[in-house]
Amino acid sequence: MNTAFKASIATLSAGGTAAAGGYAWHSSQLSKLSDLIASDSEVTQLTMESSTEDWKDAWKEYKTKNNLWKLSDYETHKSEDTAPQSFKNLCLSKSHEKVKGTQNDDFQNFKKWCSRKFTISELMQQQGITLLNKQSAEGDWKPAWKKYKDNPLNKQNSNAAAKDAWETSDWTSQNSQDAPSDKFKDKCEEKSKIKVVNRDHETYKQVLDWCTK
């Protein structure tokens, strides 16, 4: 075997090793979509136990891209509002796929079509914040209600505004009271179920200020 041929083989061998090493390094950077979503502060992955409404929203969003994932029975279900089981199964299957990081279409599409935003109450629970409810003590509700009444949104000069920020139906009769009525407590519960991108959302801040211990 001549020297030049030996050199060629050595070069090819080295190249193969480098390629293999490069692939091994690349593979170590891959993460399952479900793991990436789990570490995303904005959303939580949809599951088979997720609400019909959450799946309906995801399905509606998916349909705007005209079946990009090539769902086999798409034509059968595309006119329906409710997400078909095949779409839910596809999301579950996709969750096990591995990608490199979050700056790619695979992750971004999975995030849009197979997850939902957190509710305000869920974000608060993550931080150990106690959300008041109808079973909470009146002593806990009073300071929250006072903050609500004293907020500039609910004031006109030094008096109560004609209409409050959350438009509670009994504001006129209750704004002089020390404790809130069930109408305001219902508003707190209603607002806490709103889905938001993060804690900078104005409604999140309002619920934090007016509906927590």
Q: Quick: pLDDT tens for 122-159.
A: 999 999 999 999 999 999 999 999 999 999 999 999 99
Q: Which one, of 86, 110, 89, lies nearest residue 98 by Cα?
A: 110
- Write the DSSP symbol of residue 33: H
- Kindly report the pTM of this predicted structure: 0.81
Question: 167's torsion region: left (phi>0), alpha (psi -120 to 50) or beta?
Answer: left
Strand partners, 212: 131
Domain locations along the chain: 30-113, 122-210
Round to whole Å and give the CA distance between 211 and 195.
16
Buried b (16+ CB within 10 A) or exposed e, 86-101: ebbebbeebbeeebee
Q: Quick: pLDDT tens for 100-132.
A: 999 999 999 999 999 999 999 999 999 999 999
